[in-house]
Amino acid sequence: MSDLRERARELDAADELAAVRADFVLDGPEDLVYLDGNSLGALPVNVPGAVEDVVRRQWGELRIRSWTESGWWTAPERIGDRVAPLLGAAPGQVVVGDSTSVNVFKALVGAVRLAPEGRDEILVDAATFPTDGYIAGSAARMTGCTVRPVDPGAVPDALGPRTAAVLLNQVDYRSGRLHDLPTLTAAVRAAGAVSVWDLCHSAGALSVGLDEHGVDLAVGCTYKFLNGGPGAPAYLYVRAEHQARFDSPLPGWNSHAEPFGMRAAYEPADGAVRGRVGTPDILSMLALEAALDVWSRPDVSVAAVRAKSLALTDFFLECVAGYVPGDRVEVVTPAAHAERGSQVALRCADAGAVMGRLIAAGVVGDFRAPDVLRFGFTPLYLGFAEVERAARVLARELSRTD
């Protein structure tokens, strides 16, 4: 135990991202360990002031003038261009707004409409977050397609001449498994289908490479590793080569070529703007814009964050192996770096009760039914000493018999 504590101190001393922690509000007991950033990221210190300015000055003083003078109208594209580098995308391909669920619907129906004629099947990640599956079913009914759940690893063999679109998660939300986006995207493209990736559990924690790997469409949330706040708007990526043909199933006045023309006939705007629908949710959108400032620091990059993510999860797994009896939990998350996101999932029979005790003891993770303890590792504000403590408290709570 003392060896692991000393290792944690050494790793924290060498951590090139350690100073970034001061950019976040981490109030609470001194020994609190927050391992749920894959559900809701911590509050960046600059966000309250930014939101106060939006409310008091932009809304309170400028009022309607802020649509132009404060840049409210262009916020979805402007903030999209700030998210884009974190996804490996060039400017002009990401628009921010709506929820992830709404953007999945837009992307999936849009994907079917981009696909060659005569294709009537949508492949969906069999272990996907439930909402993605629900929306895929609705999109299929709307477009005359059928839905076929497939394990991501089996996608290349499942593709065929009927495949219109494929909806996959880069990181499995339960297990933390990282799927092979480059290989799977290449297989989808070779089959003539359209790829749609859900990046909720990867953006802000690891490299995505949308442009490099030929991804067609992608969606994701901003309240996890991007720390945009509860209910922060999601984003939609439309590859540049598809934008002229992207046909959103939710055409709104904000995506019209002449939004203030109030014309009865719809004419889509050029570029990613056609992914917009209605009036932007300005308060949460500008809170997100402020939260993204941390990525402008010279010491913060996706590569540095990914390197620390792997180091944190490696160390946590080492501590769990050192502290927790071998028959008490099963590690669900892959050990291989190429297959691991930024979370660790452990299976145990009484996971719900155990997580309740962990939270009461100051180690905040979450529980996924029926038997998974899930721990998220946000490299921007998490340290190695906290990781060691979390594993130690886990061992203690697992040993309880009451």
Q: Give pLDDT, residue 2.
A: 79
DSSP assignments along 288-334, one per residue = HHHHGGGGGSTT--HHHHHHHHHHHHHHHHHHHHHHS-TTT-EE-S-
Q: Are 176 and 283 in contact (CB under 8 A)?
A: no
Q: Cα 115–121–127 angle (5° rounding)?
A: 115
Q: Is 31 a catalytic residue?
A: no
Q: Is 237 a catalytic residue?
A: no
Catalytic residue among 198, 216, 281, 366: 198
Catalytic residue among 24, 129, 377, 384: 129
Q: Is 266 a catalytic residue?
A: no
**pLDDT higher than threshold 80 for residue 402:** no
Which pLDDT band holds residue 368 (cuts at 50, 70, 90)?
A: very high
Q: Express each pLDDT in 73-82 by its tens digit.
A: 999 999 999 9
Which pLDDT band holds residue 401 (cuts at 50, 70, 90)?
A: low
Q: What is the residue type of 116?
A: P
Which pLDDT band holds residue 326 (cuts at 50, 70, 90)?
A: confident
Q: How far apart are CA 140 and CA 122, in angstroms?
A: 7
Catalytic residue among 82, 174, 177, 224: 224
**pLDDT higher than threshold 90 for residue 1:** no
Q: Is 270 a catalytic residue?
A: no
Catalytic residue among 24, 173, 223, 246: 223
Q: Express each pLDDT in 267-305 by its tens digit.
A: 999 999 999 999 999 999 999 999 999 999 999 999 999
Which pairs with CB-CB distance under 8 Å and at least 24 residues apart come from 364-370? 364/32, 364/33, 364/34, 364/35, 364/36, 365/35, 365/36, 365/390, 366/36, 366/39, 368/173, 368/174
Q: Express each pLDDT in 174-233 by its tens digit.
A: 999 999 999 999 999 999 999 999 999 999 999 999 999 999 999 999 999 999 999 999
| Claim: this prediction has a pTM higher than 0.95 | yes
Instruction: Tell me phi and psi for residue 373, to 5 degrees.
Output: -90, 125
Q: What is the residue type of 308?
A: K
Average pLDDT rounded to a whole number, residues 341-352: 96
**pLDDT higher than threshold 80 for residue 146:** yes
**pLDDT higher than threshold 70 for residue 311:** yes
Q: How far apart are CA 281 and CA 17, in angstroms?
A: 32
Q: Is 374 a catalytic residue?
A: yes
Neighbours of 157 (CB within 10 A): 9
Q: Express each pLDDT in 96-112 by its tens digit.
A: 999 999 999 999 999 99
Structure tokens at 240: 């540049």
Q: How far apart are CA 308 and CA 204, in angstroms?
A: 12
Catalytic residue among 374, 381, 389, 392: 374
